[in-house]
Structure 1
Amino acid sequence: MDRDEVDRALSRLEAEYEAIETSLLALQDHAGRRLLEGAELTGVTRDRWASAELSITLLWTYFDSYTAALNGAREARARRRWPNRDDLLELTEALRGRAVVIAGAAGQRPASLTGPAKLSERFTLAELVARMNELYASSLDMVVAADSVWSALPARIDLLSAELRRTRSLAHSVGVRPGEHPAGDDLESITRELSTLRDQVISDPLAFWRPAPGSSAPGGGRPDTERYDRAARALEDVRREIEAVLRVRQDSEERLMRLRDVLSRADRTLTEARSARGEVLAKIAASEVPAVSGPPTALQERLSTAAEYRRHAQWHRLSPLLESLERDAEDELLRARESLTAVTAPLAVRAELRGRLDAYKAKVARHGLAEDPVLIERYDAARRMLWSAPCDLRVAEEAVLRYQRAAADVLVPRGPGPADRRGDS
């Protein structure tokens, strides 16, 4: 090397020295490294930190040797402004040769990286820089990964645990307790999971680290939040269920009043249907009248149970009971109305026949034919059948039809038939 090459090499090595020193000091002061030093580690983090500690110790050993070699080269260069051949040979060896000797185990990286230890190892300054960069990158990667997990997960777990405590308090206030309600059991399960998860994250953060595929940068990856996310979703499901129970507590009295009203209407409708059935049997002959069931006693008993749940603030039991009662009560009212309709169908048929008979009588009267003896006779026959009890609807309908046909004949006279025309001729 000539003088200019020596000066350029020294300048480059000094710049590298400053960069390495800055990086090592930053690693030394890194919050993640300090946490790792004081933590009781387990699992993969414990193993990797043991290796990283050796790497960091080795880094400083390498750096001290690098510093000593660089200082020696600076001193050799500073002896003369214009170095002679012997000086240049010495500087060339110092700057490019394997002049740095690191003896014994201090010169070895962890055995898992290099295999069996050597008695000593020689480096050029460039090789030493490359070795330090390699050890620094692996150490920093481990420290950054652990720090990222610790920065992300414990705080989120603590926030979720606080939300869990609020939800448990709310659940207890509405009677949702373990062993009595599935949501209470879920809260216990989530509590255990969050406690276990936090302990594992604190002691083994690297178990919750997912490196980015293909990334070579230190700390390339992200914390694995799958278990946390699953617990958060489970808590959200429970919270919605508790809110549903709370809504029951707030509007339960109004819903119970509506249920009583619906069941009362169903009962009145069935009473009306039973009364109508008696009337039909007495007034309509030869008619199939369906039976009418009794009042909905089973629903009344369940309604009493719901009221009891409300008095004792058993909201978690009241909620599903009210939902099923509301469906069944509406079904019961519909069934009562259908029963009334079926029972009163013969009376509706009789009323329709009466209306039809009177409508035709009024039409005949408007045309001045009310005194027609045939119409009077057929009207009276149909009226006796429709206004007498029991009424045979089939016979009464035939009588109304005969009156309709007679009225039609009078209102629209038919033309003479062939026999009439022969008589006229």
Structure 2
Amino acid sequence: MSDARAARPPLDRDEADRTLAHLRDEKERISTALLELEGHPGYRLLDGAALDGATRRVQAEVRSRTAEIWALFDLYGRTLGEAERLRARHSRPGQAQLAELTRLLTGPSVELPAEEVPLERRTLLAAPAGERLTLRAVVARMTPLYEDVVKTVAALDAVWSALLSRLAEVEAEQRAAADLLASLGGTDPDLDRLTADLRAVAALVRGDPLALADAGRPDTSRLDALRTALAGVRRGLEEAHRLRDGFADRIGGIAAVLEALRAAEAEARRVRGEVLAKIASPVLPDLPDMSATLADRLATVGRSPHGANVPAATGHGGWNELAGRVADLERAMNGALEQARRDVEVIRGLLDRREELRGRLEAYRAKAARLGGAEDAGLSALYERARELLWTSPCDLRKATVTLSEYQQAITSRVKGAER
């Protein structure tokens, strides 16, 4: 839009000097703002990057608007420079010089190139004439362009900076895992897969960060998931390192658990045999020979024909694969030992139950004697039946328990009768 105004009286010399001083200061402030914009990290990153997708479109818009701002600023500077040179040539400007200064400083003195005239101001037949603006109108046109560029750059920089920062953390996690794997040897399919996924996400972060933005905010969910998964891989590789450095001790510890398991299983079999001989129709747990199976697994992971620190069983997965197998073996070994010890307790519990019933029988007999029931034929018969059941092998615990209960009830009945 043209900024032509109704003719106004020429500025006097003081007014012209004040206006020139104001415009010089304004030009300096605009120049500083534009240079600070181009020095902003987000602007430099955006301006120099090879981008794709939505971010590339934003980049093109920012470049176009910035170029337009600089073009307007250049025209602004040229017109102001012309006014400054005119004033410098005339220490005491006359009316003609003041009128020209007034035109340059306050009138439509800035002519835009014809190609910059908006389409809506062009005609079908006439070549578009350059639009003329005042210096004030030039600043008014630059201001929204500048504000839009600043807002766009700041928003993109916030998204990009957050994504790049998180990407750096994930890539550091990947490098740590890769370094560990390199020192261990072998391969890790999970690390290979995660590394490929990371490359794909990194390409988006660096080439089209807006593809990883949601409502103008950085969406780091893919990076967060990768970091979590890579941290898990790294911990597994660290465990492999610990295994390699203390392989002999680790295997020795598993062997010690195996010996304890063998002892527990032997004790379970011994107690089971005793129960079968002493308890009638017992319900006993199965006793699998886990020690033999686990011993074979231990022998497989524990062989080291290639050297003291390089087990043959590492295979293509190296120490990383072996660490998982050793950890599984440890869990299986400890689980089997706990189960064998529980089996011993369960089986021995039947013998303990018989001893408990025997103790209760003698306690009831002593109670009956105190009550004068030592010569009671009925009580004596019940006692003998219970004693025979409890001291006969194999012992029928169910019948013995029922008989002992009858003996207890008979004693209780005698006590109540004596009280009446």
Please, what TM-score do these two structures have when normalized by structure 1?
A: 0.68
2:193 maps to amino acid: S
Shift of 1:400: 7.5
1:331–1:120: structure 2 CA closer, same or farther, 3 Å change rule?
same
Shift of 1:196: 2.0
Residue 131 of structure 1, aligned match among 138, 141, 144: 141
Residue 200 of structure 1, aligned match among 183, 201, 204: 204
RMSD: 4.8
| Corresponding position: 1:67 with 2:77 | yes
Shift of 1:16: 0.9
Instruction: Give the number of the structure whose alpha-carbon radius of gyration is greater.
Output: 1
Measure the CA separation in 1 of the matches of 2:335 and 2:100.
99
> After the TM superposition, which of the residue ranges 95-104 and 197-206 deviates more from structure 2?
197-206
Residue 111 of structure 2, aligned match among 101, 108, 128: 101
Q: Show the counterpart of 1:7.
A: 17
Residue 333 of structure 1, aligned match among 341, 344, 349: 341
Q: Secondary structure of the residue that 2:281 maps to in structure 1?
A: coil
Measure the CA separation in 1 of the matches of 2:175 and 2:50.
27
Measure the CA separation in 2 of the matches of 1:232 and 1:115.
57
Shift of 1:268: 0.6
> Structure 1: which 5+ runs fail to align?
179-183, 213-221, 281-287, 416-425
Q: Show the counterpart of 1:228.
A: 223
Q: Secondary structure of the residue that 2:131 maps to in structure 1?
A: strand
1:352–1:172: structure 2 CA closer, same or farther, 3 Å change rule?
farther
Shift of 1:260: 4.0
How many aligned positions are there? Answer: 381
For residues 361-397 of structure 1, what are the alpha-carbon distances to aligned partners after superposition, in whole Å with 9 as ceiling and x for unaligned?
7x69xxxx9xx9x589x97996798477568958986
Measure the CA separation in 2 of the matches of 1:307 and 1:340.
32
Identity of paired residues, percent? 28
Measure the CA separation in 2 of the matches of 1:123 and 1:68.
13
Measure the CA separation in 1 of the matches of 2:176 and 2:114.
60
Please, what TM-score do these two structures have when normalized by structure 2?
A: 0.68
Residue 65 of structure 2, aligned match among 36, 55, 61: 55
Q: Show the counterpart of 2:177.
A: 167
Write out aligned runs for 1:350-361 (5 A).
350-354=358-362, 356-357=364-365
Q: Show the counterpart of 2:193.
A: 189
Measure the CA separation in 2 of the matches of 1:44 and 1:188.
30
| Corresponding position: 1:257 with 2:256 | yes
1:19 maps to amino acid: R
1:354–1:246: structure 2 CA closer, same or farther, 3 Å change rule?
farther
Q: Show the counterpart of 1:91.
A: 101
Write out aligned runs for 1:384-403 (5 A).
386=387, 389=392, 393=400
Measure the CA separation in 1 of the matches of 2:69 and 2:240.
62
Q: Is the 8 A contact 2:301 2:326 kept in 1?
A: yes
Q: Is the 8 A contact 2:264 2:340 kept in 1?
A: no
> After the TM superposition, which of the residue ranges 294-303 and 196-205 deviates more from structure 2?
294-303
1:326 maps to amino acid: N
Residue 17 of structure 1, aligned match among 23, 27, 32: 27
Measure the CA separation in 1 of the matches of 2:197 and 2:74.
47
Q: Show the counterpart of 1:301.
A: 293
